[in-house]
Amino acid sequence: MMKKIGLIGGLSWESTADYYKRINEYVKNQYGGLHSAKCLVYSFNFHEVVELQNNGRWQEATEEMITAAQSLEKAGAELVIICTNTMHLMAKEVQEAISIPLIHIVDVIAESIKSHGFSKIGLLGTRFTMEKDFYKEKLEEHGIETIIPTEEDRAIVHHVIYDELCQGIVCPNSKASYQAIIERLASRGAEGVILGCTEIPLLISEHDTLIPLFDSTKLHAEYATKLALLPKEQVS
């Protein structure tokens, strides 16, 4: 019995579409034929969320995320994923407000990092993800040290995410900038780099760098789908 996956999306819709595609491709690969995933999507107006982020109104953002998760649970979702890295800032509060599992993106990524035997990792994401402690602390719980880009490089990474990728713009010059930033992280000891924004895989992939990349979208979407295909008693 396939369980319903609740997706908190629209953060941005481009990455949510990628989640939806990956989830359904995984189910099709497992079962073939006309099989697809059972999904429920709560899609935000990303402009409104960005306004809350930029103005530091994180409590309001938390309340919005809780409402989204509760709506998905009431609609029949049996597990929930937040289709963005940054809004895992309030993952704990969201999980406490619902009775179904919230699959935390950092836990999933950390397991993949550990399977490679790595303990020192670079992190790319929005400036909120890179600069606030929630992401680094979660990785630290798994014994993983985080290296973030310099202030100048963080500004570039953040700009490309919001002003290009979230608006569907993929620029070759930006790919080159990201490649250079990844090389600088590697020179500081990073054994791999987390693509810690769900839009970044739209720009760069593991084929574009010499060190391993951890695609947060792919890892998160596939892990959640695997859980959705397990017997109910194995999902917690």
Rounded Cα distance between 173 and 166, Å, is 16
Q: Half-sphere exposure (CA, 13 Å, Cβ side) for 80?
A: 29
**Contact call for residues 190 and 116 (beta carbons, < 8 A):** no
Residue of 16, 166, 197, 198 with catalytic role: 197
Q: Is 67 helix (H, G, I), strand (E, B) or coil?
A: helix
Residue with tokens 């979230």: 166
Residues whose CB is less than 8 angstroms from the CB of residue 56 and which lie 6 or more positions away in sequence, other chains included: none
Choosing from 16, 62, 84, 146, which is the catalytic residue?
A: 84
Q: Is there a catalytic annotation at residue 197?
A: yes
Task: Give the residue from 167, 162, 161, 163 showing the smallest Cα distance to 204.
Answer: 161
For the beta carbon of residue 154, count every other beta carbon within 10 angstroms.
20
DSSP code for 102: B
Give catalytic status of residue 62 as yes or no.
no
Provide the annotated active-site residues.
Answer: 84, 197
